[in-house]
Amino acid sequence: MGVVVRATTWVTLFGGVVLVYVPARALSWAGVARPPRLGLPQLAGGVATAAGATLAIWCIVTFVVVGRGTPAPFDPPRRLVVQGPYRHVRNPMYLGAAVAVAGAALFYQTGVLLAYVAVFLLVMHAFVVWYEEPTLRRTFGEDYEAYSRQVRRWWPRA
């Protein structure tokens, strides 16, 4: 039960700041308001946001249940997680978060959030390459090496 509380706390803090508060501030700063009426872009944006959030939550649950850890770098999974969405791509949680914010960009029809998504993905890529992957190699050794040879970092194999 402790891992569930730790994961929920981390996701609430990190997700709340990076995926809700900062994008909301960017919208406010740019003067973007809620569309006066809902149309196809808002419907598509809502669907994309829900799909991205669902993928990210699936990843978090997989970390807790399979990996016995959290997404927090200081409280990572104790087991290498290669199940669920991690069978298809090594970083589905970041992709889900990016799709969720991109859906908000479509909902609001603004490039401000698309720019935020681009910066988010660049920062996550740097974090993955310079911190996460070396840490996973040290922690899980050949198991991680074999996994990384089979599953691509950002794009699933055809």
> Which residues are within 8 A (CB) of 34 and not within 5 positions of it... i.e. 6 or more apart?
108
In this predicted structure, the answer to whether residue 38 has a pLDDT above a threshold of 80 is: yes
Which pLDDT value is given to residue 110? 97
Q: How confident is residue 1, by pLDDT bands cut at 50, 70 and 90? A: low
**Average per-residue pLDDT in the chain?**
95
Residue-wise over 63-86: b if at least 16 C-beta within 10 A, else e?
Answer: bbebbebbbeeeebbeebbbebbb
In this predicted structure, the answer to whether residue 68 has a pLDDT above a threshold of 90 is: yes
Helices (H) and strands (E) in the chain, counts: 6, 0
Structure-token match 């681009």, residue found: 118
pLDDT in tens, 7-19: 899 989 988 999 9
Joined together, the tokens standing for residue 112 give: 């401000």
